[in-house]
Structure 1
Amino acid sequence: MKIFETLADASQVARSRQRSSAASGHEEEGELWRYLREITDFIHQLGQAYRFEDYLQGVSLTSSPYVSAALDPRPEVSSRRAMALALKALAEAHSPEQARPTLVLLNLLNFLADTAQIDDFEDFFTHRLDYAPLAMASFATREEAEAWLKGLEEPLSPARIIVGDQYCLAWYSREDGSQDVSRDFTIEPYIEELTARGIPPDSPAFKSREEAEVWLAKHPASPFAFLSIAGEHYLAVHHKRLKRHTLHPVELSLREWAEWKRGSERLPAQRGKIQED
């Protein structure tokens, strides 16, 4: 679990510096720290923690910092400005322990550049609130997803995928070799919030899913849209990266979400009772 702790420490340092910059009135600097912090989210959501761990084997976290030649050389570009900020923070560090999280952030940026992911991250960073929660792949069935996971040459840390119409987590543990695909309640909080605001009375209505999908192909949700199929309300979610929509039955989704939350609340209480016994 070392790489996940490393990423968590780096994210925490970036968040702290972001807040400090904002409190000092340095909004532009704070935004660059947010840029660096959200790289850790991007890495997690695409299941690339182990891939980054392997990348770190080729760079030093103690000597002079490496700066990728693949970074855009223009000083006004966000990635180059973020790198300059990280290098400045690194130069001001008073100890190797203090420098290490900043080196990790710096190398996350190098990693994106060296693996040609800067543009994808820029899109993620700029439009995060405009897109549905990120998923890295889509499968018709759980069996397909499990076969894909098993066949990966590169070890995958937890990453969101779509199976049918459900968000799931595909995960692999490098430590013990275990792996699985499990349900992930990612979209349900959105359904709860959007439903609480009220389903528009003029939402489009269709007789079948096929009709709805034909309409959505010409009218992509941005990223969410309510519609009804055979009298039942659905939330359509547009996955731009995957070039598809998922359709989530509102009533069933809210019921399953409520059951999951109740189960999550019972777990700590049960653990506490076991400890008392």
Structure 2
Amino acid sequence: MMNLMMLSDAQQVIGRLWSEDPPQEQRRVLLLARDALDFISASGQWYPFQDFREGHGPHDSSTSLEESPARSGLLARTTQFFESLLDEPSTVDARAHIQTILDALRFISATRQGKSLEEFIQRTESNDPPMVVASFETKEQADDWLKSHPSPPVFAEVLIGNSYHDVVYDRATNFRRLPRNRHFEWYLGWLEQNDPPVASASFATRDEAETWLKNQAHPPPRTWVLIAGEFYLAVFHPNVNHRALYPISMAIRDVL
């Protein structure tokens, strides 16, 4: 049976180590471990990761040729750091979670996902919109995709129109759903506070803005624009070639 808390429990170990005010190099190691766990979750690879841990699938953990030398070196140091923790008496209660971190690093290397992890980290560091793994124009198209998918990317997110939906899938029962979530609305509220809107372009109508966004050869993952005096976030998901405009009025703001 899949332990749904497996990755989040491992994140707790990273959080405790971070709270001890580690040196800069160790911070880089902890950030890579955090991002590796987040990548597996956001890309919907819970079941492939579980299968990997149980001895199924590829187990060549050599560094992918797609990785940059700097990232591959950091990956090796991160692996060595957590391997050393397994031998420390103080980590007895956390060893299962440390092993999860090590398995996550080895899973990414064995499945040659170094480049994808790098891209995910770049998006995270740039505070880009939440990752999606697929995009559909209609709910019917999304439902057909989910129904026919041999192994849906559980807990990943997809776009239906411009709305975010979770991929819910239980392998044991074959239960499948695509419930709407408000992840993007929370993100938009956070972004408004942490990157106050400054328009990179201004338009009289939404149609003009959509035409402009459609005609951009290589739009940034996100940029603020003004449409009839209101801020919108122009978003581009390169992995699914999806472009969208979201009004700032959608934002969910923290209530203190």
TM > 0.5 fold call: yes
Q: Distance in 2 between matches of 1:47 and 1:201?
A: 34
Between 111-120 and 71-80, the greater mean CA deviation after superposition: 71-80
How high is the sequence identity, in percent, across the aligned residues? 26
> Where in structure 2 are there 5+ consecutive unaligned residues?
none
8 Å contact kept, 2:230–2:247: yes
> Where in structure 1 are there 5+ consecutive unaligned residues?
60-65, 263-277
Aligned to 1:3: 3
Change (3 A) 1:102 1:193: closer
| Pairing partner for 2:241 from 234, 243, 254 | 243
Q: Distance in 2 between matches of 1:236 and 1:169?
A: 22
Q: Distance in 2 between matches of 1:199 and 1:94?
A: 46
Match status 1:128 vs 2:124: yes
Change (3 A) 1:139 1:155: closer
Between 149-158 and 40-49, the greater mean CA deviation after superposition: 149-158
Aligned to 1:91: 87
Aligned to 1:62: none
| Pairing partner for 1:169 from 166, 171, 174 | 166
Q: CA deviation at 1:208?
A: 5.0
| Pairing partner for 2:202 from 194, 201, 204 | 204
Q: Which amino acid aligns with 2:245?
A: L
Q: Which amino acid aligns with 1:4?
A: L
| Pairing partner for 2:181 from 165, 173, 184 | 184
Alignment of 1:1-277 (within 5 A): 2-20=2-20, 23=21, 25-58=22-55, 68-70=61-63, 77-92=73-88, 98-130=94-126, 131-193=128-190, 200=198, 203-207=201-205, 209=207, 211-216=208-213, 217-218=216-217, 220-228=219-227, 234-251=232-249, 253-254=250-251, 257=252
CA distances 1:70-110 after superposition (whole Å, capped 9, x unpaired): 45797971211111112211233578754221111111111
Q: Count matched residues.
A: 246
Between 146-155 and 220-229, the greater mean CA deviation after superposition: 220-229
Determine helix, strand or coil for the equivalent of 1:236.
strand
Q: Distance in 2 between matches of 1:34 and 1:194?
A: 21
Determine helix, strand or coil for the equivalent of 1:55.
helix
8 Å contact kept, 1:224–1:238: no
Q: Distance in 1 between matches of 2:181 and 2:85?
A: 37
Q: Which of these two proteins has the greater Rg computed from alpha carbons?
A: 1
Q: Which amino acid aligns with 1:88?
A: S
Which structure has greater helix proportion?
A: 1
8 Å contact kept, 2:133–2:156: yes
CA distances 1:24-77 after superposition (whole Å, capped 9, x unpaired): x42211220221122111111111111111111107xxxxxx871245797971
Determine helix, strand or coil for the equivalent of 2:87.
helix
Determine helix, strand or coil for the equivalent of 1:58.
coil
CA distances 1:118-142 after superposition (whole Å, capped 9, x unpaired): 1111222234132221111111111
Q: Which 4+ residue blocks in structure 1 deviate beyond 4 angstroms?
A: 71-76, 93-97, 193-203
Q: CA deviation at 1:168?
A: 1.3
Q: Distance in 2 between matches of 1:67 and 1:97?
A: 29
